[in-house]
Amino acid sequence: MNNTPEKVTVIGGGLAGSEAAYYLASRGIETVLIDMKPKKFSPAHESEKFGELVCSNSLKSNDPYSNACGLLKEEMRLLGSLVIRAADETKVPAGAALAVDRDLFSDYITNRLRSLKTLTVLSEEVETLPEPKENEYVIVATGPLTGEALAADIEKKTGGALHFYDASAPIVSAESVDSETSFTGDRYGKGTGDYINCPLSKEEYYAFVEALLSAEKAHLHEFDKREIFEGCMPIEVMASRGADTLRYGTLKPVGLWGEDGKRPFAVLQLRKENEFGTAYNLVGCQTNLKFAEQKRVFSMIPALKNAEFLRYGVMHRNTYIQSPDVLNADFSVKNNRRLFFAGQITGVEGYVESAASGLLAAIHIADEILNRPTHVFDEQTVLGALSRYISTPNKDFQPMNANFGILAPMDKRIRDKKERYRALAERSLSKIREAAEI
């Protein structure tokens, strides 16, 4: 009989890996966290810290009763999520959304992880898919930007991988936004005036759309438009779908009124990027335009005519595995119960969803190591619904965000959407509270 204590190796220090490592190590389980930074960085990463946010500083809605991502956050709070705690501690005003100061957010996660006595941190690149030893579990949480060598080995050993592209939005200096041609406020008066709204007249809007369509894009290997993830669609791709597409989407003026009390023809919203409000993110303006073109085109918006760009938008390719063929609902590999995957590489899409998968993998491993009752998350919770989504046979499998549509319906039909969402949320949180007691 082997009496060697069980150990868990977590590969990847993003949201999923950080979440998993913290959950396990904070419960006394010997854990090793391996990340290739700072020795090597992916094309989209800049910081040496853990839990670095790349495309946005927003973790979406914080309301559990009207938004599934808000409900997922509350589920995770109840289960002791490090990522959600970090977000709550470093949030910046963003109306009903939970947005954070990126640097403080990563600082919080990094400091908490490095304070754990049962956690060992290694900086090295893993190039082959590990084979867990007898007394070891491994969680691969290398994210959609997995290193080329490891990605190739994963693809070889899992029977293939899928790809898609997403993009990030530019960030501008707050003081460079023209206050005379912008106004603060949140849609329908919600929040405390957290957004800067940049209105466009009819003529300005159509000129902006035309400029987007004719602007030069950054070089990128050829790809089919079906590979672009809808939730991170470049603004120029959205504009190509029709002249009014942006006015009914990214630049919709609904729920906003200018200083004159009238609704603008179109509005670009800016959201705080940091705690001090010195930098703002162009909401929904993910782009693959060349940097000079970004400055030219976005400066056509009156409020941004003198904008100082602190960061330009970029586009990158993401990788995820064919999870339904590879993974069980607990995120373990079907032919190796000691090997787990977590994060966006599993096909969950979004910051919160990524962290949630890391939390789930860690919970299931801890159940086995600590000999405690097995946590069961079913489709009545967002956590369970995501678990089922990535493990249920699906020939058209593609990344999935949290949404109420993946939850099991209520026994009794509720026609009113607001009431239905609240009922789904209350049922879910009741289930999670029970699980949190295990």
Q: Which residue has the higher pLDDT, 254 or 111?
A: 111
List the domains of the chain with CATH numbers: 7-164+319-436 (3.50.50.60), 171-313 (2.40.30)
pLDDT tens digits, 416-435: 989 999 999 999 999 999 99
Q: Does the pLDDT value for residue 94 go beyond 50?
A: yes
Give the mean pLDDT of 371-390. Answer: 95
Q: DSSP of 102-114, one letter per residue?
A: HHHHHHHHHHHHH
Q: Report the share of the chain in percent with pLDDT over 70.
A: 93
pTM, rounded to two decimals: 0.76
Give the mean pLDDT of 30-57. Answer: 85
Crossing angle for the helix pair 68-78 and 382-391, to the nearest 10 degrees? 110
Cα(254)–Cα(266) distance, integer angstroms: 9
Give the mean pLDDT of 270-275. Answer: 83
Give residue 243's pLDDT band: very low, low, confident or very high (50, 70, 90).
very high
Q: Which residue has the higher pLDDT, 168 or 435?
A: 435
DSSP 228: B
Give the mean pLDDT of 14-27. Answer: 98
Task: Give the per-residue pLDDT at 226.
Answer: 41
Tell me the CA distances in angstroms from 411 to 387, 414, 418, 433, one per residue in order.
Answer: 21, 9, 17, 21
Q: Does the pLDDT value for residue 438 go beyond 50?
A: yes
pLDDT tens digits, 47-69: 889 999 987 888 999 999 999 99
Q: Does the pLDDT value for residue 220 go beyond 70?
A: no
Mean pLDDT (the chain) is 90
How is residue 33 written in tokens? 């966290």
Q: Are 350 and 174 in contact (CB under 8 A)?
A: no
Write out 54-84 in H/E/C secondary structure: CCCCEEEECCCCCCHHHHHHHHHHHCCCHHH
